[in-house]
Structure 1
Amino acid sequence: MKNLWRRVLASTLGLALVLLCLTNVQAAELRVLAGGAMKTIWDELKPKFEQASGHKLIIRFGTTPELIKLATTGGPFDLGVVPREVFKDAAAQGQFVAGPTTDIAGVGLGVAVRSGASKPDISTPDALKQTLLKAQSIATIPASAAGAQVLRAFERLGIGDAMKAKTRVQPTPANVVEAVAKGDAELGVFLLNVLTAPGLDVVGPFPGDLQQVIVFTAALSKDTKEKAGAQALITYLKTPEAAAIIKAKGMMP
């Protein structure tokens, strides 16, 4: 019991120190580039951080290609919390401070159906293959980092060409959910946290080594004039409070 109370006290004191640091930074308007799959998480994190710090967050969401474009030609920004794949683009990487990034959250791929629909078998790679081949249509975002991993899984299963005609390309994570919930697509094949939404029932994660985790990582813009505030946001995203929200929304802190 004493050890439990010590851990609780340490966590509480740690958060208090973080919030003290936040309030000691002059309030600023922070421009953030963020992966669209984390939008529901930001809906909770944003007001909590703004209240604790006095900073205001202006967040622009996008898929990986959109984030690369925003980083390179979308005007000034202060930091990004984006899929690691953004940093594989040399031009985009050059817009961030050189050095290690800070991993914030990760999530794997999965399959979902419309609420109330029967759940197909995806327990093994072959079962997933047969389920995908039997499906009339699927919804995903091929242009995103997660969507690219989905397409690679199709290729590994030997059904890449067969799935092209069945794929209902969506522009945003919210549209993936909407397409499945309305019955416009039989299956949603995307990030598990996105598929854990009203109107959908999650069938499960990709099986075995077909599973891939998309990691969202944070870094400062090399041109930010609000370095202290931007760093304070990254520090906040690593607090127990932020981690609890990330976990509750279906991602791994």
Structure 2
Amino acid sequence: MLKRVLVLAGFAALMGAISPARATQITVMSGAAVEAGLVIAVEAFRQQTGDNVQIVFATTPEISRRVGAGETPDVVIATPAALDDLVKSGKIEGTGRVPVGRVGIGVAIREGAPKPDVSTTDALKRAVLDADSVIYNRASSGLFVESLLQRLGLAEQIQGKTKRYAGTDMIEPLIKGKGNEIGFMPVAEILHFRNRGLQLAGPLPEDVQNYTSYAAQPASKSAVAMAFVRFLETPESKGIFAAAGIE
């Protein structure tokens, strides 16, 4: 699985310089589907407060496993169900949760490849059958895609050309493909990796679309952690996430 850790550090606050001695660093463990918006929101928070934020990206199942095993981030961004389980097990604080947004599933192809029609369910089925390979992950979005392919009666027909990867490991084989590959992944992730060679063929048709909601919750009693979570529900942050494809 592709794991990425991003550290954003700085020294200036919105209302004047902050002494480095006052700057605090927190760790945020987040689902990768909201990366495009979260990175920008973290930078905006840093500029306003001077506090440093380290982000660890992982799939929701991996977040649940790691925090459940004893890792101690200051903030967790994951699905509400995963957060509920971590609260019930006493691994994170039970208050202060704010919604971040929801992300739909899209169809990705490599840049420059012919764009398939996925505007209707029938068109989507044809695109899947015509593809040389169908790629998706083992995270929550991949579980939905697997069930969707079964529901559409396609799973057995494409069994020999289905490829699954951990998290965003699916990106490399998709952009380096030589044939007619298509991939299923969150729209926000596709948009985020446009500079790596991905192209959005389109979101899933609304009648088969699935949205995954994400929320942020303090995992510790750190004042900075709670301030960061509150920042994520400001109009500024909501605009940042919306621009990144996170509704």
Could you tell me the TM-score, scaled by structure 2's length?
Answer: 0.81
Question: Which of 49, 65, 69 in structure 2 is aligned with 1:69?
Answer: 65
Q: Greater helix percent: which structure? A: 1
Q: Greater strand percent: which structure? A: 2
What is the identity, as a one-letter code, of the residue corresponding to 2:39?
A: D
Aligned equivalent of 1:210: 208
Could you tell me which runs of 5 or more consecutive residues in structure 1 were left unpaired when the two chains were aligned. 1-18
Could you tell me which runs of 5 or more consecutive residues in structure 2 were left unpaired when the two chains were aligned. 1-13
What is the identity, as a one-letter code, of the residue corresponding to 2:174?
A: V
Aligned equivalent of 2:227: 232
Aligned equivalent of 1:84: 80
Aligned identity (percent) is: 31
1:179 aligns with 2:173: yes
Aligned equivalent of 2:190: 195
Deviation of 1:108 after TM superposition, in Å, equals 0.5
Q: Encode CA deviations 1:90-136: one digit per residue, 9 max, x unaligned.
A: 68764232357321021101112222222222222222122112211
SS in structure 1 of the partner of residue 115 of structure 2 = coil
Alignment of 1:1-253 (within 5 A): 27-87=23-83, 89=85, 94-98=90-94, 101-142=97-138, 144-173=139-168, 175-183=169-177, 186-196=181-191, 197-198=194-195, 199-221=197-219, 224-226=220-222, 228-252=223-247
SS in structure 2 of the partner of residue 189 of structure 1 = strand
Q: How many residues align?
A: 225
Aligned equivalent of 1:10: none
Asked whether the 8 Å contact 1:72–1:92 carries over to 2, the reply is no
Asked whether the 8 Å contact 2:136–2:142 carries over to 1, the reply is yes
Asked whether the 8 Å contact 1:180–1:186 carries over to 2, the reply is yes
Asked whether the 8 Å contact 1:138–1:166 carries over to 2, the reply is yes
Asked whether the 8 Å contact 1:109–1:190 carries over to 2, the reply is yes
What is the identity, as a one-letter code, of the residue corresponding to 2:239?
A: A
2: CA distance between counterparts of 1:161 and 1:89? 34
Distance change in 2, residues 1:166/1:91 (3 Å): farther
Deviant stretches of 4+, over 6 Å: none
Distance change in 2, residues 1:230/1:90 (3 Å): closer
Deviation of 1:189 after TM superposition, in Å, equals 0.8
Q: Encode CA deviations 1:214-238: one digit per residue, 9 max, x unaligned.
A: 11111122xx241x21111111112
1: CA distance between counterparts of 2:163 and 2:84? 27
SS in structure 2 of the partner of residue 31 of structure 1 = strand
How big is the alpha-carbon RMSD for the aligned residues of Structure 1 and Structure 2? 2.4
